[in-house]
Amino acid sequence: MSESSSAPFGGRRGRWLWAFVLLLVVGAAYWFFTKDSGSLVTKGRPGAGNGMPAMIVPVKVATVERGPIDYTLKAIGTVTAFNTVTVRSRVDGELHKINFVDGQKVQEGDLLAQIDPRSYQVQLDQAMGQQKQNEAQLQNAQRDLQRYRLLFKQNSIAKQQVDAQAALVQQLLGSRKSDQAAVDSATLQLSFTRITAPISGRLGLRKVDQGNMVNASNTDGLVVITQTQPISVLFTLPQAQLPAVLEQIRAGKTLAVDLYDRDDLRKIASGELMSLDNQIDVATGTVKLKARFANEDESLFPNQFVNVRLRVATDQSLVLPTRAVQQGSIGAFVYRVDDNSKVYVQPIVVGRVDERRVAVTSGLTEGQRVVIEGLDRLRDGATVQVSSGEVATPAPNPPAAAGGVATGAPAGGAGNPH
């Protein structure tokens, strides 16, 4: 009974032993062949024993150049009409006629509406009639005064009668001035029945229809005129950025302002800074600024939100694409390519940033090349291959459709540094 039970156990143990030996043989063969093939692949490469630096990494490079870089401040602004006027009636009466349509452009002095002038014409006629009556009385009193003075010289009348007549003449002279003022007032009131445009601009939607009674006390008015050519933009800047702006303004310089659409991609207008507020908002720590734009194409509309870029100054500096700059434990650095197509980590000190370019204050010299694509596979001392030519440093404020790739060193080689 014991022998029959031990024979199967011995057979299973033998099979496990043979399987273990077979695995050892397969593992040894795999290690041997992979070791030989690896030595054949890396044989003859510089730094083959260092792992990553032995790989040739395709990259794109850009040349460090000296050029202008703008000191630009960004903000969000609101387009505001240069002037806004609510056209109101200065007299009461029936709105007799409307001479405009909604949204129409008008010039200063254009007739917008007519109020029924008949009652004001009657008032003018009454004032003119009273003026003529008093004028006739004045002329008669002046003739009597001349006669009284002649009779007084002949001792025919008393001096008191002459003085009384002279006083009457002076009284009528005062009445003549009052009558003239009444005529002028009636004429002015009559002229107010013609409502004209006080400024040039674009009309909004009318608020009163023809045939309605209008009053001088009505605050809503007839229509609103907004002056959109030129037009202004209001925006704010933090108080920390104010000294740089004030320095340029006090030096008598005109600062350029560019406006971009809501996506901050397409430039829609260019203008200049007009003025800034005389105090800082204590609640937000910002100061208001106002810029002026010609708006000849009327691309700007009142109350429109825009992205504002205020160009404070332009300096000459070493510039390179912002995508070449990396951040690490040593701070800002770039991968510099030497004449032997090797890259080295180069710490730099960056200055102002302008769109896709950044100024370098130290760490690089003009003509050196830096990597801008393929950065994730690089290490200090790695060998690279410049592909698709060198990439030129973007020009200041490049158009949205600009490509930015220029022909440089031939593909497959590092080329000569520019």
Q: Residue 132 above 80 pLDDT?
A: yes
Q: Residue 43 above 60 pLDDT?
A: no
The partner residues of 357 in beta bridges, in order of sequence, read 321, 354
Tens digit of pLDDT for each residue in 252-300?
999 999 999 988 889 999 999 999 999 999 999 999 999 999 999 889 9
Per-residue model confidence (pLDDT) at position 315: 83
Percentage of the chain lying above the pLDDT 70 cut: 83
- pTM score, two decimals? 0.62
What is the number of alpha carbons within 13 Å of residue 166 lying toward its C-beta?
8
Which run of H or E residues covers position 211? none
- The structure tokens listed for 47 are 């730094």
Average pLDDT across the chain, whole number: 83
Q: Rounded to 10 degrees, what is the CA torsion of 86, 88, 90, 93?
A: 180
Q: Residue 35 above 80 pLDDT?
A: no
Per-residue model confidence (pLDDT) at position 26: 75
Tens digit of pLDDT for each residue in 45-74?
333 344 444 578 899 999 999 988 888 899
The domain limits of the chain are 2-43, 73-82+228-315, 89-214
Per-residue model confidence (pLDDT) at position 24: 79
- The structure tokens listed for 405 are 């790739």
Mean pLDDT for the stretch of residues 29-55: 47
Per-residue model confidence (pLDDT) at position 325: 92
- The pLDDT confidence band at residue 187, using thresholds 50, 70 and 90, is very high
Tens digit of pLDDT for each residue in 316-340?
889 999 899 999 889 999 999 998 8
Contacts of 78 (CB under 8 A, 6+ apart): 233, 234, 235, 303, 304, 305, 306
Distance CA 100, CA 109 (A): 13
Distance CA 99, CA 183 (A): 28
Say which CATH architecture domain 73-82+228-315 belongs to.
Answer: Beta Barrel (2.40)
- Label residue 240 exposed, middle or buried (CB < 10 Å: 0-12, 13-18, 19+): exposed
- The pLDDT confidence band at residue 391, using thresholds 50, 70 and 90, is low
Per-residue model confidence (pLDDT) at position 401: 36
- CA 32 from chain centre, in angstroms, equals 69
Q: Residue 233 above 60 pLDDT?
A: yes
Per-residue model confidence (pLDDT) at position 33: 60
- For residues 294-325, one letter each, b for 16 or more C-beta atoms within 10 angstroms of the residue's C-beta and e for the rest, the string is ebeeeebebebebbbbbbbeeeebbbbbebbb
- The pLDDT confidence band at residue 34, using thresholds 50, 70 and 90, is low
Cα–Cα nearest to 392, from 408, 375, 412: 408
Per-residue model confidence (pLDDT) at position 396: 59
- The pLDDT confidence band at residue 12, using thresholds 50, 70 and 90, is low
